[in-house]
Amino acid sequence: MKKLQMVDLKSQYDKIKDTVNASIQEVLDTNTYINGPQVHQFQKNLEEYLDVKHVIPCANGTDALQIAMMGLGLKPGDEVITADFTFAATVEVIALLQLTPVLVDVNMFNMNISIEAIKKAITPKTKAIVPVHLFGRAANMEAIMQIAKEHNLYVIEDNAQAIGANCKFSDGTKKKAGVIGNVGATSFFPSKNLGCYGDGGAIFTNDDALAHTIRGIVNHGMYERYHHDVVGVNSRLDSIQAAVLNAKLPLLDEYNKARQNAARKYTAAFEGHKNIIAPSICEMCDCHVFHQYVLRILDADRDALMQYLLGKGIPCAIYYPIPLHSQKAYLDSRYKEDHFPVTNQLVKEVIALPMHTELDDEQIKFITDSVLEFLNK
């Protein structure tokens, strides 16, 4: 059996080596390392793929979130509502900009921000909601956009984990996750669904004025060379990373399908087991692109299962072991434990199994057999 890995970038690269290498070679031959034609090409390619008016490439996903918030002109003291159960980058940039993070619980069904919790957290100071499309599954954007409209709030989508996922609306239309709110942010960290071979990120928006503002912010606040109109940052996607992404973007749908296929096989093996809640696969709408495949383990020792799998050479991980509201950096006396029943439960139950584009049937069977073996002991 091929060696099991949480993410197998090497096997993926082996299959696309010629295209990727040729694309990188072009950058080297033309030595256009910064803002080369590859970056502009990638911007156009991604705008077309996402069906969005503006893509602004930048250095990483955390910058993308920060720049999106700067672009909206959020001010110190403005309250920004986001999910308690996610990677820290989201809340980190809110705090860095001296905005006030307001962490709220998620819902059990899709582990994404709870609509009820958002409604309860809104105050006169609330300015924005940051839904995270966690583990590759689109949050309920229809409900979130409705609340935002009623309360005149911005919506910033953290789409670092769900590029290519669709959001379905009740009128039957579909849109890509990340382009529904005022602005979206993504990451091209190597292990993400669309990963480059270093750091990378992008911001998306359909708002022409906001796109213009953001293009200046990423470039030291310059709209005209050496005229600094606003305080900006230096955040660029370099041409070599753009070249890798130009080679990989045409494969994104295929890659997401491969992840969904692996997820379908995992879930088929686990379905109905008394100790497992496996993610469902929606055949109709591609709302989940499985950045991670995360099980909930009920009435069994999740940590012992993890040790058992690691002992058999099966990588696995806990995303995320500690709720953000309990992290030292983000403690806030306004939070009460009973605001976060779902996150507090999930951190004890979740376990992520290997998920990538190169999983084969033999590997999947070994993994599912091992999980069942432990639970049925």
What type of residue is 78? D
Tokens linked to 315:
């990588």
Residue list 133-192, contact with ligand PLP (CB under 6 A): 158, 160-161, 187, 189
Residue corresponding to tokens 């059996």: 1
Tell me the closest approach of the beta carbon of residue 139 to ligand PLP, in angstroms: 11
| For ligand PLP, the closer CB: 201 or 232 | 201
Taking residues 107 to 136 in sequence order and writing x for each that binds ligand PLP by CB under 6 A, - otherwise, the string is -------------------------x----
Is residue 86 part of the contact set for ligand PLP (CB under 6 A)? yes
Tell me the closest approach of the beta carbon of residue 202 to ligand PLP, in angstroms: 10
Q: Helix count (H) and strand count (E) of the chain?
A: 12, 14
Whether residue 353 contacts residue 295, with contact meaning beta carbons closer than 8 Å, is answered with yes
**Quick one: the chain helix, strand, coil %, rounded to 5?**
45, 20, 40
Is residue 260 part of the contact set for ligand PLP (CB under 6 A)? no
Tell me the closest approach of the beta carbon of residue 352 to ligand PLP, in angstroms: 12
Whether residue 301 contacts residue 310, with contact meaning beta carbons closer than 8 Å, is answered with no
Among 24, 38, 54, 61, binds ligand PLP (CB under 6 A): 61
Among 12, 90, 256, 370, binds ligand PLP (CB under 6 A): 90
Tell me the closest approach of the beta carbon of residue 116 to ligand PLP, in angstroms: 22
Tell me the closest approach of the beta carbon of residue 234 to ligand PLP, in angstroms: 15
Q: What's 168's DSSP letter?
A: E
- Quote the CA–CA distance of 177 and 81 in Å, as a whole number: 18
Tell me the number of residues near ligand PLP by CB under 6 A: 15
319 cis-preceded (ω within 30 degrees of 0): no
Tell me the closest approach of the beta carbon of residue 146 to ligand PLP, in angstroms: 23
Among 178, 184, 195, 201, binds ligand PLP (CB under 6 A): 201
Tell me the closest approach of the beta carbon of residue 241 to ligand PLP, in angstroms: 11
Is residue 84 part of the contact set for ligand PLP (CB under 6 A)? no
- Quote the CA–CA distance of 239 and 243 in Å, as a whole number: 6
β pairing state of 126-130 and 79-83: parallel
Q: How far does the chain reach from its first CA to its final CA, in angstroms? A: 24
Strand-pairing partners, residue 185, are 158, 203
| For ligand PLP, the closer CB: 112 or 161 | 161
Residue corresponding to tokens 């590759």: 136
Among 12, 38, 60, 82, binds ligand PLP (CB under 6 A): 60
- Quote the CA–CA distance of 200 and 119 in Å, as a whole number: 33
Among 42, 85, 87, 293, binds ligand PLP (CB under 6 A): 87
Tell me the closest approach of the beta carbon of residue 159 to ligand PLP, in angstroms: 8
DSSP labels, 79-137: EEEEESSS-THHHHHHHHTT-EEEEE-B-TTTSSBPHHHHHHH--TTEEEEE-B-GGGB
Residue nearest ligand PLP by beta-carbon distance: 61
Q: Which stretch binds ligand PLP (CB under 6 A): 59-67, 77-85, 206-214, 264-272?
A: 59-67
- Give the binding site for ligand PLP (CB under 6 A): 60-62, 86-87, 89-90, 132, 158, 160-161, 187, 189, 199, 201
